[in-house]
């Protein structure tokens, strides 16, 4: 598993989209669309959860691009948005701002500074049946969060 959009069904009833390999605006945008497709529509749709880390190496465009991803999270009806890292906090702000502007339901937004901190508490936020996308730049170590969600490895393991 090289963490490129792998769909994992977990024992606790989650569907986890592990896309931790890398993250730029286009790949995160595509991943949000995939989340919407896999979660489905209508009465039997899964709750859409996105755990998004910093997108690195965007230079002076970083703030605007993170904000735009927030807009897309709102448009794709993400119900729970968890952001990881300084830059990613702009995704949460963007989601709330654009949801208000577009009169869409805003996602519940939570923020963690590190993947380690998020991994330690992620189980408090998700529920059986949820469809959870995990994505961020390699440097963010988002695979720790996937490990916590899937029960692979102890969340406190230091690799």
pTM: 0.91
Strand partners, 80: 49, 108
Cα–Cα distance measured from residue 55 to residue 43, given in angstroms and rounded to the nearest whole number: 33
End-to-end CA distance of the chain: 16
The H or E element containing residue 38 is: helix 25-39
Structure tokens at 42: 């209508």
Closest-CA residue to 22 (of 2, 48, 49): 2
Q: What is the mean pLDDT of residues 62-73?
A: 94
Is 69's pLDDT higher than 70? yes
Return the beta strands (E) in 36-145 as ranges.
48-53, 80-84, 108-112, 131-135
Q: In this structure, what is the dihedral angle of CA atoms 111, 117, 119, 123, given to the nearest 10 degrees? A: -70
What confidence score (pLDDT) does residue 7 get? 79
d(CA 81, CA 101): 18
Dump pLDDT digits (tens) for 89-144. Answer: 999 999 999 999 999 999 999 999 999 999 999 999 999 999 999 999 989 999 99
């Amino acid at each position: 598993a090289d963490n490129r959009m792998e769909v994992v069904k977990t024992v606790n009833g989650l569907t986890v989209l592990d896309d931790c390999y890398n993250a730029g605006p286009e790949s995160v945008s595509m991943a949000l669309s995939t989340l919407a497709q896999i979660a489905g529509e209508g009465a039997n749709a899964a709750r859409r959860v996105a755990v998004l880390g910093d997108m690195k190496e965007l230079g002076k465009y970083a703030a605007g691009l993170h904000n735009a991803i927030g807009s897309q999270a709102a448009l794709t009806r993400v119900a729970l948005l968890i952001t990881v890292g300084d830059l990613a906090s702009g995704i949460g702000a963007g989601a709330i701002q654009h949801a208000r502007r577009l009169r869409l339901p805003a996602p519940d937004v939570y923020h963690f500074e590190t993947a380690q901190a998020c991994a330690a508490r992620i189980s408090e936020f998700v529920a059986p049946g949820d469809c959870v996308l995990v994505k961020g730049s390699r440097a963010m170590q988002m695979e720790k969060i996937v490990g916590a969600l899937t029960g692979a490895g102890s969340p406190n393991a230091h690799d």
